[in-house]
Amino acid sequence: MQIDWQKAIDEILASKVSGLRCGTLVEEVLVGYSRSPAATPFSPLCQGCNPREECDARKLVVVCDACAAELRLRGHKVGQEGMMAALLDECRRNLEESLDYLADYWREDLDVDPQDMDKRLEELDPQIFAQEDTWRRYLEEQYLKFHRWFRERALPIPNPGWRSEYAEEIIALGYQTLLGD
For the segment 115-174, give every residue that binds Zn ion (CB under 5 A): none
The whole-angstrom separation of Cα 44 and Cα 40 is 8
Taking the least distance from each CB to Zn ion, the nearer of 70 and 165 is 70
46 binds Zn ion (CB under 5 A): yes
Q: Does 62 bind Zn ion (CB under 5 A)?
A: no
20 binds Zn ion (CB under 5 A): no
Binding residue for Zn ion (CB under 5 A) from 64, 73, 91, 170? 64
Nearer to Zn ion by C-beta: 52 or 148?
52
Question: Cα–Cα distance between 140 and 45 in angstroms, integer?
Answer: 11
The residue among 31 and 49 lying less far from Zn ion, judged by its C-beta, is 49
For 76, list phi and psi in degrees, rounded to 5: -125, 155
Q: Name the residue nearer to Zn ion (CB basis): 7 or 153.
A: 7
Query: Exposed, middle or buried by CB within 10 Å (0-12, 13-18, 19+), for 130?
Result: exposed
The residue type of 168 is: E
Residue 77 pairs with which residues in a beta bridge? Answer: 30
- Taking the complex as a whole, the smallest distance from the CB of residue 21 to Zn ion amounts, in Å, to 5
Q: Which stretch binds Zn ion (CB under 5 A): 49-57, 78-86, 129-137, 172-180?
A: 49-57
Q: Is the peptide bond before 126 cis (omega within 30 degrees of 0)?
A: no
CB 51, min distance to Zn ion, A:
9
Q: DSSP of 109-161, one letter per residue?
A: HTT--GGGTTS-HHHH-HHHHHHHHHHHHHHHHHHHHHHHHHHHTTPPPSSTT
Nearest to 175 by CA among 91, 119, 98: 98
Q: Considering only residues 8, 9, 67, 102, which one is a binding residue for Zn ion as defined by CB under 5 A?
A: 67
By the rule CB under 5 A, 19 interacts with Zn ion: yes
Binding part of the chain for Zn ion, among 43-51, 123-131, 150-158, 171-179 by CB under 5 A, reads 43-51
As a whole number of angstroms, the distance between CA 122 and CA 119 comes to 8
Q: Which of residues 104-123 bind Zn ion (CB under 5 A)?
A: none
Binding positions for Zn ion, rule: CB under 5 A: 19, 21-22, 24, 46, 49, 55, 57, 64, 67
